[in-house]
Amino acid sequence: MRLVLFAFGCLTYAAAAAADQAQPYAGQQHRAVSSYSEREVAALLAGEGRGMARPAELNGYPGPSHLLDMQEELELSGEQIAVIRAAFERMQLKARDLGARLVEAEAELDALFRDRRADPDTLVVALRKAADLRMELRETHLRAHLEVTPLLTAHQREAYALLRGYGAGHGKHGRH
C-alpha cells in the first residue's frame, strides 16, 4: 500500500511539474503591460534604475541615489551633496518621463497583438520605439553615474565599494 501511495504521489508531482512547464505564462494575461510585472512598471514610473546602470555600478562608477543614501558614511561635503542631489533629481525627472513612455510603448505593442493589428511592419515600428526608449532610459541612468563619479575622492570611491560589498579591487572587474 505504501508503494502505491508513493507511486501516486510521484505521478501527481510529475503531472503538476509538467503542467507548470506547459503553462509558464498562466495568470500573466491580465497584466496591464505583458512585458513587465506590476513591480517593474511601478519602478519604471518612479524613475528607478533597477540594474540599468549595473555596468557602471560594478566597475567603480557609483550612482547618485546610493551616494545620497550613504552620504554620512562617505563623509560627503555639503558641496558634493548639493551637486549629487541635483544630478539625481535631473536623472530621476528624465527617467520618470522615459519610464512612462516606455510603459506606454509596451502597452501599444500589447494592443497590436490584442487587437489583431500586428504585422511585420507594425511589429518593427513598435519594437523599435520600445527599444529606443529603453536605450535612452538606460543611458540616462548610466550618464548620472558618469556625472557624479568625478566628484568623489579616491578614498570615497574605495569606501563606497567596500560599503556596497564589492570588496577591495572594485572596478578592476576583468583583473583577478
Segment 81-110, tens digit of pLDDT = 999 999 999 999 999 999 999 999 999 999
Q: Which residue has the higher pLDDT, 132 or 170?
A: 132
Q: Is the pLDDT of residue 174 over 50?
A: no
Q: At what angle do helices 38-46 and 78-114 cross, to 10 degrees?
A: 130
Q: What is the pLDDT of residues 108-146, one digit of tens each?
A: 999 999 999 999 999 999 999 999 999 999 999 999 999
Cβ contacts of 155 within 8 Å, gap of 6 or more = none
